[in-house]
Protein backbone atom coordinates (compact mmCIF):
# COMPACT_ATOMS: atom_id res chain seq x y z
CA UNK A 1 0.00 0.00 0.00
CA UNK A 2 2.78 2.43 0.95
CA UNK A 3 4.83 1.63 -2.17
CA UNK A 4 1.66 2.08 -4.26
CA UNK A 5 1.06 5.56 -2.79
CA UNK A 6 4.68 6.58 -3.43
CA UNK A 7 4.45 5.46 -7.04
CA UNK A 8 1.35 7.57 -7.58
CA UNK A 9 3.08 10.66 -6.13
CA UNK A 10 6.08 10.41 -8.43
CA UNK A 11 3.89 9.62 -11.44
CA UNK A 12 1.96 12.82 -10.69
CA UNK A 13 5.24 14.77 -10.51
CA UNK A 14 6.18 13.69 -14.03
CA UNK A 15 2.78 14.50 -15.53
CA UNK A 16 1.95 17.73 -13.71
CA UNK A 17 2.81 21.21 -14.96
CA UNK A 18 1.60 22.94 -11.80
CA UNK A 19 3.65 25.33 -9.67
CA UNK A 20 6.73 24.35 -7.72
CA UNK A 21 4.95 25.05 -4.40
CA UNK A 22 2.33 22.42 -5.18
CA UNK A 23 4.97 19.88 -6.09
CA UNK A 24 6.89 20.69 -2.92
CA UNK A 25 3.85 19.93 -0.85
CA UNK A 26 3.59 16.50 -2.42
CA UNK A 27 7.28 15.85 -1.87
CA UNK A 28 6.41 16.44 1.78
CA UNK A 29 3.54 14.00 1.40
CA UNK A 30 5.92 11.38 0.04
CA UNK A 31 8.15 11.96 3.05
CA UNK A 32 5.10 11.43 5.26
CA UNK A 33 4.56 8.06 3.62
CA UNK A 34 8.13 7.06 4.47
CA UNK A 35 7.55 8.22 8.06
CA UNK A 36 4.37 6.15 8.22
CA UNK A 37 6.33 3.10 7.16
CA UNK A 38 8.90 3.78 9.87
CA UNK A 39 6.15 4.07 12.48
CA UNK A 40 4.65 0.77 11.38
CA UNK A 41 8.04 -0.91 11.83
CA UNK A 42 8.42 0.56 15.32
CA UNK A 43 4.99 -0.68 16.39
CA UNK A 44 6.18 -4.25 15.91
CA UNK A 45 8.53 -3.81 18.89
CA UNK A 46 6.40 -3.46 22.08
CA UNK A 47 9.43 -2.28 24.06
CA UNK A 48 9.50 0.83 21.87
CA UNK A 49 5.75 1.42 22.09
CA UNK A 50 5.39 1.38 25.88
CA UNK A 51 7.74 3.36 28.10
CA UNK A 52 8.78 2.14 31.52
CA UNK A 53 6.46 4.74 33.07
CA UNK A 54 3.52 3.33 31.11
CA UNK A 55 4.25 -0.26 32.15
CA UNK A 56 4.48 0.45 35.88
CA UNK A 57 1.57 0.41 38.32
CA UNK A 58 0.50 3.84 39.56
CA UNK A 59 -1.48 5.07 42.56
CA UNK A 60 -3.01 8.33 43.80
CA UNK A 61 -5.73 9.85 45.93
CA UNK A 62 -8.72 10.29 43.58
CA UNK A 63 -10.87 12.43 45.87
CA UNK A 64 -10.13 15.99 47.05
CA UNK A 65 -7.90 16.17 50.14
CA UNK A 66 -9.50 17.27 53.39
CA UNK A 67 -11.95 16.02 55.97
CA UNK A 68 -14.91 14.11 54.56
CA UNK A 69 -16.80 10.88 55.02
CA UNK A 70 -14.98 8.85 52.37
CA UNK A 71 -11.76 9.08 50.39
CA UNK A 72 -10.81 6.92 47.41
CA UNK A 73 -7.29 5.78 46.57
CA UNK A 74 -6.95 4.39 43.07
CA UNK A 75 -4.31 1.91 41.86
CA UNK A 76 -3.93 0.99 38.17
CA UNK A 77 -1.49 -1.16 36.25
CA UNK A 78 -0.22 -4.69 35.70
CA UNK A 79 0.57 -5.18 39.39
CA UNK A 80 -2.71 -3.87 40.82
CA UNK A 81 -3.63 -7.37 41.99
CA UNK A 82 -0.29 -7.62 43.82
CA UNK A 83 -1.20 -4.42 45.66
CA UNK A 84 -4.45 -6.08 46.71
CA UNK A 85 -2.66 -9.17 47.99
CA UNK A 86 -0.17 -7.01 49.93
CA UNK A 87 -2.53 -4.44 51.46
CA UNK A 88 -6.17 -5.62 51.38
CA UNK A 89 -7.39 -8.24 53.85
CA UNK A 90 -11.04 -9.24 53.65
CA UNK A 91 -12.74 -9.14 57.06
CA UNK A 92 -14.15 -12.62 56.51
CA UNK A 93 -10.57 -13.92 56.32
CA UNK A 94 -9.19 -11.89 59.21
CA UNK A 95 -8.38 -15.09 61.14
CA UNK A 96 -5.98 -16.20 58.41
CA UNK A 97 -3.77 -13.50 56.94
CA UNK A 98 -2.07 -15.94 54.56
CA UNK A 99 -5.44 -17.06 53.17
CA UNK A 100 -6.59 -13.46 52.82
CA UNK A 101 -3.51 -12.54 50.81
CA UNK A 102 -3.52 -15.60 48.54
CA UNK A 103 -7.18 -15.42 47.43
CA UNK A 104 -7.94 -13.36 44.32
CA UNK A 105 -10.89 -11.03 44.91
CA UNK A 106 -14.13 -11.37 43.01
CA UNK A 107 -13.96 -8.52 40.48
CA UNK A 108 -16.47 -5.64 40.28
CA UNK A 109 -17.73 -6.30 43.80
CA UNK A 110 -17.26 -4.21 46.95
CA UNK A 111 -15.43 -6.09 49.71
CA UNK A 112 -15.49 -5.12 53.37
CA UNK A 113 -11.85 -5.24 54.42
CA UNK A 114 -8.95 -3.97 56.45
CA UNK A 115 -6.22 -1.97 54.74
CA UNK A 116 -2.89 -3.17 56.14
CA UNK A 117 0.76 -2.15 55.86
CA UNK A 118 2.52 -4.43 53.34
CA UNK A 119 5.59 -4.88 55.56
CA UNK A 120 4.44 -4.80 59.18
CA UNK A 121 0.88 -6.05 58.65
CA UNK A 122 -0.38 -3.19 60.83
CA UNK A 123 -4.03 -2.28 60.27
CA UNK A 124 -4.22 1.21 58.72
CA UNK A 125 -7.99 1.52 58.29
CA UNK A 126 -11.25 -0.39 58.10
CA UNK A 127 -13.02 0.21 54.80
CA UNK A 128 -14.10 -1.14 51.42
CA UNK A 129 -12.14 -2.22 48.36
CA UNK A 130 -13.06 -3.19 44.81
CA UNK A 131 -11.06 -4.85 42.04
CA UNK A 132 -11.73 -4.07 38.36
CA UNK A 133 -10.18 -6.60 36.02
CA UNK A 134 -8.87 -5.08 32.81
CA UNK A 135 -9.93 -4.27 30.19
CA UNK A 136 -13.29 -3.72 31.93
CA UNK A 137 -12.06 -0.73 33.92
CA UNK A 138 -11.70 3.01 33.41
CA UNK A 139 -8.04 2.76 32.43
CA UNK A 140 -8.51 -0.63 30.65
CA UNK A 141 -5.87 -2.00 33.08
CA UNK A 142 -6.33 -3.93 36.31
CA UNK A 143 -7.57 -1.38 38.87
CA UNK A 144 -7.93 -1.47 42.66
CA UNK A 145 -9.89 1.18 44.54
CA UNK A 146 -9.67 1.54 48.31
CA UNK A 147 -12.62 3.40 49.87
CA UNK A 148 -11.36 4.62 53.22
CA UNK A 149 -12.16 7.21 55.90
CA UNK A 150 -11.09 10.65 54.72
CA UNK A 151 -8.83 11.64 57.59
CA UNK A 152 -5.50 13.23 56.72
CA UNK A 153 -3.53 10.76 58.85
CA UNK A 154 -5.32 7.74 57.32
CA UNK A 155 -4.75 8.93 53.76
CA UNK A 156 -1.10 9.75 54.46
CA UNK A 157 -0.44 6.36 56.07
CA UNK A 158 -1.91 4.39 53.15
CA UNK A 159 -0.10 6.47 50.51
CA UNK A 160 3.11 5.97 52.49
CA UNK A 161 2.48 2.22 52.60
CA UNK A 162 1.97 2.14 48.83
CA UNK A 163 5.29 3.91 48.37
CA UNK A 164 7.00 0.95 50.08
CA UNK A 165 6.01 -1.31 47.18
CA UNK A 166 8.85 -1.29 44.64
CA UNK A 167 6.55 -2.08 41.71
CA UNK A 168 4.37 1.04 42.26
CA UNK A 169 4.93 4.74 41.79
CA UNK A 170 2.79 7.86 42.35
CA UNK A 171 0.64 8.87 39.37
CA UNK A 172 1.29 12.05 37.42
CA UNK A 173 -1.37 14.66 36.68
CA UNK A 174 -4.14 13.15 34.54
CA UNK A 175 -2.28 9.86 34.14
CA UNK A 176 -5.28 7.62 34.86
CA UNK A 177 -7.24 9.41 32.14
CA UNK A 178 -4.28 9.31 29.78
CA UNK A 179 -4.10 5.53 30.20
CA UNK A 180 -7.83 5.37 29.46
CA UNK A 181 -7.14 7.29 26.24
CA UNK A 182 -4.18 5.12 25.28
CA UNK A 183 -6.21 2.00 26.05
CA UNK A 184 -8.99 3.14 23.71
CA UNK A 185 -11.55 3.79 26.45
CA UNK A 186 -11.76 7.52 25.60
CA UNK A 187 -10.84 9.71 22.68
CA UNK A 188 -9.48 13.26 23.05
CA UNK A 189 -12.90 14.93 22.83
CA UNK A 190 -14.16 12.67 25.63
CA UNK A 191 -11.07 13.45 27.71
CA UNK A 192 -11.72 17.17 27.27
CA UNK A 193 -15.42 16.63 28.03
CA UNK A 194 -14.52 14.79 31.23
CA UNK A 195 -12.30 17.67 32.34
CA UNK A 196 -15.04 20.19 31.47
CA UNK A 197 -17.58 18.09 33.39
CA UNK A 198 -15.39 18.17 36.50
CA UNK A 199 -14.98 21.95 36.13
CA UNK A 200 -18.64 22.66 35.26
CA UNK A 201 -20.23 25.29 37.50
CA UNK A 202 -23.48 25.95 35.62
CA UNK A 203 -26.24 23.87 34.07
CA UNK A 204 -25.28 24.81 30.51
CA UNK A 205 -21.66 23.81 31.12
CA UNK A 206 -22.75 20.50 32.66
CA UNK A 207 -24.98 19.61 29.72
CA UNK A 208 -22.35 20.46 27.10
CA UNK A 209 -19.58 18.63 28.95
CA UNK A 210 -21.74 15.55 29.53
CA UNK A 211 -22.42 15.24 25.80
CA UNK A 212 -18.71 15.50 25.02
CA UNK A 213 -17.75 13.01 27.73
CA UNK A 214 -20.47 10.62 26.54
CA UNK A 215 -19.15 10.53 22.99
CA UNK A 216 -21.70 12.73 21.20
CA UNK A 217 -19.06 15.23 20.10
CA UNK A 218 -16.75 12.43 18.96
CA UNK A 219 -19.52 10.91 16.83
CA UNK A 220 -20.13 14.21 15.03
CA UNK A 221 -16.45 14.71 14.23
CA UNK A 222 -16.07 11.08 13.18
CA UNK A 223 -19.01 11.41 10.79
CA UNK A 224 -17.18 14.32 9.14
CA UNK A 225 -14.01 12.28 8.83
CA UNK A 226 -15.95 9.31 7.48
CA UNK A 227 -17.49 11.52 4.80
CA UNK A 228 -14.03 12.74 3.75
CA UNK A 229 -12.80 9.15 3.60
CA UNK A 230 -15.77 8.22 1.39
CA UNK A 231 -14.84 11.07 -0.95
CA UNK A 232 -11.23 9.90 -0.87
CA UNK A 233 -12.31 6.35 -1.70
CA UNK A 234 -14.08 7.63 -4.82
CA UNK A 235 -11.01 9.56 -5.91
CA UNK A 236 -8.70 6.62 -5.14
CA UNK A 237 -10.93 4.38 -7.25
CA UNK A 238 -10.63 6.87 -10.09
CA UNK A 239 -6.82 6.86 -9.77
CA UNK A 240 -6.57 3.08 -9.64
CA UNK A 241 -9.24 2.06 -12.15
CA UNK A 242 -10.22 5.20 -14.08
CA UNK A 243 -7.90 4.88 -17.06
CA UNK A 244 -9.76 3.50 -20.03
CA UNK A 245 -13.06 3.37 -18.16
CA UNK A 246 -16.17 5.54 -18.51
CA UNK A 247 -16.36 6.36 -14.79
CA UNK A 248 -13.88 9.22 -14.61
CA UNK A 249 -16.13 12.27 -14.90
CA UNK A 250 -19.02 10.98 -12.83
CA UNK A 251 -16.87 9.73 -9.95
CA UNK A 252 -14.85 12.91 -9.55
CA UNK A 253 -17.93 15.12 -9.70
CA UNK A 254 -19.67 12.97 -7.10
CA UNK A 255 -16.68 13.32 -4.77
CA UNK A 256 -16.68 17.09 -5.34
CA UNK A 257 -20.41 17.38 -4.55
CA UNK A 258 -20.05 15.45 -1.30
CA UNK A 259 -16.96 17.43 -0.32
CA UNK A 260 -18.78 20.69 -1.04
CA UNK A 261 -21.66 19.76 1.28
CA UNK A 262 -19.19 18.90 4.04
CA UNK A 263 -17.25 22.12 3.41
CA UNK A 264 -20.41 24.18 3.95
CA UNK A 265 -21.21 22.18 7.11
CA UNK A 266 -17.78 22.94 8.57
CA UNK A 267 -18.09 26.62 7.61
CA UNK A 268 -21.45 26.70 9.39
CA UNK A 269 -19.83 25.48 12.61
CA UNK A 270 -16.88 27.85 12.25
CA UNK A 271 -19.22 30.85 11.92
CA UNK A 272 -20.92 30.27 15.30
CA UNK A 273 -19.36 33.39 16.92
CA UNK A 274 -17.39 31.06 19.22
CA UNK A 275 -20.58 30.28 21.12
CA UNK A 276 -19.38 26.91 22.42
CA UNK A 277 -16.05 28.26 23.63
CA UNK A 278 -17.73 31.21 25.33
CA UNK A 279 -20.27 28.98 27.10
CA UNK A 280 -17.47 26.67 28.28
CA UNK A 281 -15.12 29.36 29.57
CA UNK A 282 -17.75 31.93 30.61
CA UNK A 283 -19.53 34.94 29.09
CA UNK A 284 -17.46 38.06 29.78
CA UNK A 285 -19.81 40.79 31.05
CA UNK A 286 -18.53 44.35 31.58
CA UNK A 287 -20.52 46.67 33.86
CA UNK A 288 -19.84 50.31 32.96
CA UNK A 289 -21.29 53.75 33.50
CA UNK A 290 -20.55 57.09 35.15
CA UNK A 291 -19.21 57.28 38.72
CA UNK A 292 -21.67 56.61 41.56
CA UNK A 293 -24.38 55.28 39.23
CA UNK A 294 -24.69 52.00 41.15
CA UNK A 295 -22.30 49.68 39.30
CA UNK A 296 -20.77 48.21 42.46
CA UNK A 297 -24.21 47.91 44.05
CA UNK A 298 -25.32 45.92 41.01
CA UNK A 299 -22.30 43.62 41.33
CA UNK A 300 -23.11 43.01 45.00
CA UNK A 301 -26.73 42.26 44.08
CA UNK A 302 -25.70 39.75 41.41
CA UNK A 303 -23.19 38.11 43.76
CA UNK A 304 -25.59 38.20 46.73
CA UNK A 305 -22.74 39.43 48.94
CA UNK A 306 -20.60 42.49 49.58
CA UNK A 307 -18.06 41.85 46.83
CA UNK A 308 -17.40 45.52 46.02
CA UNK A 309 -17.01 48.61 48.20
CA UNK A 310 -19.99 50.95 47.94
CA UNK A 311 -19.71 54.58 49.16
CA UNK A 312 -21.38 57.90 48.25
CA UNK A 313 -17.97 59.13 47.03
CA UNK A 314 -17.63 59.06 43.21
CA UNK A 315 -14.60 57.18 41.89
CA UNK A 316 -14.44 54.55 44.65
CA UNK A 317 -13.83 51.75 42.13
CA UNK A 318 -10.48 52.32 40.44
CA UNK A 319 -9.48 48.86 39.26
CA UNK A 320 -11.32 45.98 37.60
CA UNK A 321 -13.11 43.63 40.01
CA UNK A 322 -14.11 40.27 38.50
CA UNK A 323 -16.46 37.57 39.79
CA UNK A 324 -17.64 34.29 38.26
CA UNK A 325 -21.41 33.94 38.61
CA UNK A 326 -24.27 31.71 37.44
CA UNK A 327 -26.92 33.86 35.73
CA UNK A 328 -29.83 32.05 34.13
CA UNK A 329 -27.86 28.80 34.17
CA UNK A 330 -25.05 30.37 32.14
CA UNK A 331 -21.47 30.98 33.33
CA UNK A 332 -20.82 34.72 33.48
CA UNK A 333 -17.56 36.46 34.39
CA UNK A 334 -18.72 39.86 35.64
CA UNK A 335 -16.27 42.78 35.62
CA UNK A 336 -17.06 45.91 37.66
CA UNK A 337 -15.19 48.79 36.01
CA UNK A 338 -14.20 52.27 37.14
CA UNK A 339 -16.68 55.08 36.54
CA UNK A 340 -16.13 56.76 33.17
CA UNK A 341 -15.47 60.48 33.50
CA UNK A 342 -12.77 63.08 32.85
CA UNK A 343 -10.39 63.19 35.81
CA UNK A 344 -6.98 64.62 36.73
CA UNK A 345 -6.32 61.88 39.28
CA UNK A 346 -3.47 59.72 37.89
CA UNK A 347 -4.68 56.49 39.50
CA UNK A 348 -8.29 57.04 38.47
CA UNK A 349 -7.16 57.77 34.89
CA UNK A 350 -5.51 54.36 34.74
CA UNK A 351 -8.71 52.79 36.06
CA UNK A 352 -10.80 54.56 33.39
CA UNK A 353 -8.47 53.36 30.62
CA UNK A 354 -8.61 49.79 31.92
CA UNK A 355 -12.40 50.07 32.02
CA UNK A 356 -12.50 50.97 28.32
CA UNK A 357 -10.22 48.04 27.46
CA UNK A 358 -12.42 45.67 29.47
CA UNK A 359 -15.55 46.89 27.65
CA UNK A 360 -13.87 46.38 24.26
CA UNK A 361 -12.92 42.78 25.14
CA UNK A 362 -16.26 41.82 26.71
CA UNK A 363 -18.89 39.57 25.12
CA UNK A 364 -21.74 41.54 26.71
CA UNK A 365 -21.75 45.08 28.11
CA UNK A 366 -24.18 46.39 30.73
CA UNK A 367 -24.51 50.13 31.23
CA UNK A 368 -25.75 51.44 34.60
CA UNK A 369 -27.14 54.98 34.61
CA UNK A 370 -28.42 57.02 37.56
CA UNK A 371 -31.77 58.49 36.53
CA UNK A 372 -31.72 61.55 38.86
CA UNK A 373 -28.29 62.63 37.56
CA UNK A 374 -29.42 62.37 33.95
CA UNK A 375 -32.29 64.80 34.56
CA UNK A 376 -30.65 67.36 36.89
CA UNK A 377 -30.97 70.22 34.39
CA UNK A 378 -34.57 69.39 33.54
CA UNK A 379 -33.52 67.86 30.23
CA UNK A 380 -32.03 64.47 29.55
CA UNK A 381 -28.25 64.57 29.23
CA UNK A 382 -26.05 61.50 28.75
CA UNK A 383 -22.28 62.19 28.83
CA UNK A 384 -20.61 61.55 25.44
CA UNK A 385 -18.05 59.26 27.12
CA UNK A 386 -20.98 56.98 28.02
CA UNK A 387 -23.27 57.35 24.99
CA UNK A 388 -20.40 56.52 22.60
CA UNK A 389 -20.12 53.06 24.21
CA UNK A 390 -23.84 52.25 24.07
CA UNK A 391 -25.04 50.19 21.11
CA UNK A 392 -28.25 48.39 20.22
CA UNK A 393 -26.95 45.23 21.95
CA UNK A 394 -25.96 46.97 25.20
CA UNK A 395 -27.93 45.93 28.27
CA UNK A 396 -29.24 49.11 29.95
CA UNK A 397 -30.05 49.37 33.66
CA UNK A 398 -31.66 52.62 34.83
CA UNK A 399 -30.99 52.87 38.56
CA UNK A 400 -32.75 54.94 41.25
CA UNK A 401 -36.03 54.68 39.35
CA UNK A 402 -37.94 55.44 42.56
CA UNK A 403 -36.61 59.02 42.49
CA UNK A 404 -37.85 60.15 39.04
CA UNK A 405 -41.09 60.18 37.10
CA UNK A 406 -42.18 57.46 34.70
CA UNK A 407 -42.19 59.94 31.80
CA UNK A 408 -38.46 60.59 32.21
CA UNK A 409 -37.76 56.85 32.31
CA UNK A 410 -39.66 56.25 29.07
CA UNK A 411 -37.96 59.19 27.36
CA UNK A 412 -34.47 57.93 28.25
CA UNK A 413 -35.24 54.40 27.07
CA UNK A 414 -36.54 55.74 23.76
CA UNK A 415 -33.56 58.09 23.33
CA UNK A 416 -30.94 55.35 23.69
CA UNK A 417 -32.79 52.82 21.50
CA UNK A 418 -31.41 49.63 23.05
CA UNK A 419 -33.10 46.22 22.94
CA UNK A 420 -33.09 45.47 26.66
CA UNK A 421 -33.79 48.12 29.31
CA UNK A 422 -34.79 47.72 32.96
CA UNK A 423 -35.63 50.24 35.66
CA UNK A 424 -34.65 49.39 39.22
CA UNK A 425 -33.79 50.82 42.59
CA UNK A 426 -30.78 48.90 43.87
CA UNK A 427 -31.22 50.57 47.26
CA UNK A 428 -34.86 49.60 47.87
CA UNK A 429 -34.82 46.46 45.72
CA UNK A 430 -37.64 47.68 43.51
CA UNK A 431 -37.57 45.94 40.12
CA UNK A 432 -34.42 43.93 40.87
CA UNK A 433 -36.04 40.49 40.68
CA UNK A 434 -37.70 41.31 37.36
CA UNK A 435 -34.33 42.54 36.07
CA UNK A 436 -32.51 39.38 37.19
CA UNK A 437 -35.04 37.10 35.49
CA UNK A 438 -35.18 39.23 32.34
CA UNK A 439 -31.41 39.62 32.13
CA UNK A 440 -30.90 35.86 32.45
CA UNK A 441 -33.44 35.28 29.69
CA UNK A 442 -31.73 37.89 27.48
CA UNK A 443 -28.42 36.05 27.85
CA UNK A 444 -30.09 32.72 27.07
CA UNK A 445 -31.65 34.26 23.97
CA UNK A 446 -28.35 35.76 22.83
CA UNK A 447 -26.54 32.43 23.14
CA UNK A 448 -29.44 30.26 21.89
CA UNK A 449 -29.97 28.59 25.27
CA UNK A 450 -33.66 29.32 25.92
CA UNK A 451 -35.06 26.24 27.67
CA UNK A 452 -38.25 26.11 25.59
CA UNK A 453 -36.19 26.14 22.38
CA UNK A 454 -33.34 23.80 23.33
CA UNK A 455 -34.77 20.93 21.25
CA UNK A 456 -34.93 23.22 18.18
CA UNK A 457 -31.45 24.71 18.50
CA UNK A 458 -28.29 23.00 17.36
CA UNK A 459 -25.83 22.47 20.19
CA UNK A 460 -22.47 24.17 19.61
CA UNK A 461 -19.98 21.67 18.19
CA UNK A 462 -16.77 23.61 18.85
CA UNK A 463 -16.01 24.05 22.56
CA UNK A 464 -12.21 24.26 22.44
CA UNK A 465 -9.86 26.42 20.40
CA UNK A 466 -8.01 23.22 19.44
CA UNK A 467 -11.15 21.93 17.71
CA UNK A 468 -11.52 25.21 15.82
CA UNK A 469 -7.91 25.21 14.61
CA UNK A 470 -8.19 21.67 13.19
CA UNK A 471 -11.58 22.38 11.59
CA UNK A 472 -10.16 25.51 9.94
CA UNK A 473 -7.28 23.41 8.63
CA UNK A 474 -9.67 20.75 7.29
CA UNK A 475 -11.75 23.46 5.65
CA UNK A 476 -8.70 24.82 3.81
CA UNK A 477 -7.76 21.38 2.51
CA UNK A 478 -11.34 20.74 1.35
CA UNK A 479 -11.31 24.08 -0.46
CA UNK A 480 -8.02 23.12 -2.10
CA UNK A 481 -9.58 19.83 -3.24
CA UNK A 482 -12.59 21.65 -4.68
CA UNK A 483 -10.21 23.93 -6.60
CA UNK A 484 -8.24 20.98 -8.01
CA UNK A 485 -9.20 20.06 -11.61
CA UNK A 486 -9.98 16.47 -12.54
CA UNK A 487 -6.73 16.06 -14.48
CA UNK A 488 -4.78 16.53 -11.23
CA UNK A 489 -6.69 13.84 -9.40
CA UNK A 490 -3.63 12.61 -7.45
CA UNK A 491 -3.17 16.05 -5.95
CA UNK A 492 -6.86 16.17 -5.11
CA UNK A 493 -6.57 12.86 -3.27
CA UNK A 494 -3.78 14.24 -1.10
CA UNK A 495 -5.85 17.32 -0.21
CA UNK A 496 -8.61 15.00 0.99
CA UNK A 497 -6.10 12.92 2.92
CA UNK A 498 -4.81 16.05 4.69
CA UNK A 499 -8.40 17.07 5.49
CA UNK A 500 -9.13 13.66 7.02
CA UNK A 501 -5.95 13.90 9.09
CA UNK A 502 -6.95 17.34 10.39
CA UNK A 503 -10.33 16.03 11.57
CA UNK A 504 -8.67 12.92 13.00
CA UNK A 505 -6.44 15.07 15.20
CA UNK A 506 -9.52 16.38 17.03
CA UNK A 507 -10.44 12.94 18.36
CA UNK A 508 -6.88 11.62 18.48
CA UNK A 509 -7.51 9.04 15.76
CA UNK A 510 -4.04 9.73 14.37
CA UNK A 511 -0.69 10.63 15.92
CA UNK A 512 -1.24 13.69 18.14
CA UNK A 513 1.59 13.30 20.64
CA UNK A 514 2.31 17.02 20.46
CA UNK A 515 -1.09 17.91 21.98
CA UNK A 516 -1.49 15.12 24.55
CA UNK A 517 0.53 16.82 27.29
CA UNK A 518 -1.51 20.02 26.88
CA UNK A 519 -4.78 18.09 27.18
CA UNK A 520 -3.86 16.03 30.26
CA UNK A 521 -1.78 18.50 32.30
CA UNK A 522 -4.87 20.31 33.68
CA UNK A 523 -6.23 17.17 35.36
CA UNK A 524 -5.74 16.53 39.06
CA UNK A 525 -3.28 13.84 40.18
CA UNK A 526 -5.92 11.20 40.95
CA UNK A 527 -7.73 11.52 37.61
Which strands make up the sheet holding 395-399, listed edge to edge?
321-327, 330-336, 283-288, 364-370, 395-399, 420-423
Is there a single domain that holds both residue 114 and residue 243?
A: no
Is there a single domain that holds both residue 472 and residue 387?
A: no
In a domain, 230, yes or no: yes
Structural domain count, the chain = 3
Is there a single domain that holds both residue 229 and residue 324?
A: no
The pLDDT of residue 333: 93
* Cα–chain center distance at 406: 46
In a domain, 181, yes or no: no
Q: Using DSSP, state whether 512 is helix, strand or coil.
A: coil
Domain harbouring 463, CATH code: 1.20.120.430
Farthest-apart Cα atoms in the chain, separation: 94
**Pairing assessment for the beta strands 123-132 and 111-116 based on DSSP bridges:** antiparallel
Cα–Cα dist 191/217, whole Å: 11
Cα–Cα dist 490/92, whole Å: 70
Indicate the burial class of 108 (C-beta count within 10 angstroms; 0-12, 13-18, 19 or more): exposed
Q: What is the CB neighbour count within 10 angstroms for residue 406? A: 9
Q: Which residues contact 40 (CB under 8 A, 6 or more apart)?
A: none
Is there a single domain that holds both residue 439 and residue 408?
A: yes
> What end-to-end distance do the CA atoms of the chain give, in Å?
40
Is there a single domain that holds both residue 297 and residue 431?
A: yes
Cα–Cα dist 376/416, whole Å: 18
Ramachandran region of residue 499, left (φ > 0), alpha (ψ -120 to 50) or beta?
Answer: alpha
The β-bridge partners of 170 are: 59
In a domain, 60, yes or no: yes
In a domain, 184, yes or no: no
- Which domain, by its residues, includes 515? 216-272+459-522
Is there a single domain that holds both residue 254 and residue 312?
A: no
Q: Among the three residues 171, 202, 226, which one is the final residue of a domain in this structure?
A: 171
Torsion of CA 169, 519, 335, 434, to 10 degrees: -100
Domain harbouring 73, CATH code: 3.30.1360.120
In a domain, 33, yes or no: no
Is there a single domain that holds both residue 296 and residue 432?
A: yes
In a domain, 9, yes or no: no
Please spell the DSSP secondary structure of 263-325, one letter per residue: HHHHHHHHTSTTHHHHHHH-EEEEEE-STTSSHHHHHHHHHTS--S---SSTT---S-EEEEE
The pLDDT of residue 96: 53
Is there a single domain that holds both residue 233 and residue 333?
A: no
The pLDDT of residue 95: 47
In a domain, 349, yes or no: yes
Whole-structure pTM value: 0.73
Strand boundaries in 133-189, DSSP class E: 143-150, 168-170
Is there a single domain that holds both residue 297 and residue 153?
A: no
Q: Among the three residues 151, 171, 191, which one is the final residue of a domain in this structure?
A: 171
Peptide bond just before 220 cis, omega within 30 deg: no
Cα–Cα dist 260/266, whole Å: 10
Q: Which residues contact 362 (CB under 8 A, 6 or more apart)?
A: 284, 285, 286, 335
125 φ/ψ angles, rounded to the nearest 5 degrees = -170, 160
The pLDDT of residue 3: 47
The pLDDT of residue 148: 96
Is there a single domain that holds both residue 439 and residue 332?
A: yes
Is there a single domain that holds both residue 385 and residue 328?
A: yes
Q: Which residues contact 11 (CB under 8 A, 6 or more apart)?
A: 490
Q: Among the three residues 384, 419, 447, which one is the final residue of a domain in this structure?
A: 447
233 and 259 in contact (C-beta within 8 Å)?
A: no
Domain harbouring 365, CATH code: 3.40.50.300
Cα–Cα dist 215/193, whole Å: 9
The pLDDT of residue 412: 72
In a domain, 188, yes or no: no
Q: Using DSSP, state whether 160 is helix, strand or coil.
A: helix
Residues of the chain with pLDDT under 50: 1-3, 10, 13-15, 17-24, 26-27, 29-50, 95, 100, 309, 311, 313, 318, 452-456, 512, 514
Is there a single domain that holds both residue 317 and residue 383?
A: yes
The pLDDT of residue 349: 75
Q: Where are the alpha helices (DSSP H) in 417-453?
A: 432-446
Report pLDDT digits (tens) over 253-309.
899 999 999 999 999 999 988 888 888 889 999 999 988 888 888 988 898 877 654
Amino acid sequence: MIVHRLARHFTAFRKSKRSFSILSRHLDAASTVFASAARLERVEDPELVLSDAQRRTIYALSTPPGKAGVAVIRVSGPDALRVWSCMVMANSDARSKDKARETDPEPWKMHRCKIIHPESGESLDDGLAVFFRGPKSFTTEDVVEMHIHSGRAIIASILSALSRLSFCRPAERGEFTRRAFEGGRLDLTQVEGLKDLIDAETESQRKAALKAAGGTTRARFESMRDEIIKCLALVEALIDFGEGEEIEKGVYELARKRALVLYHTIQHHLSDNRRGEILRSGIRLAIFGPPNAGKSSLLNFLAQREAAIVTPVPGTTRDILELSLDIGGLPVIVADTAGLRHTDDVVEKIGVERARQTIDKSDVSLCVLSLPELTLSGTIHIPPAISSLISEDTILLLNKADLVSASHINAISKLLGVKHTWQVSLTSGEGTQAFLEGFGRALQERYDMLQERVSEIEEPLITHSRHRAHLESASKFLQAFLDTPAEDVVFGAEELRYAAQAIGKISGLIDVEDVLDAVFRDFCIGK
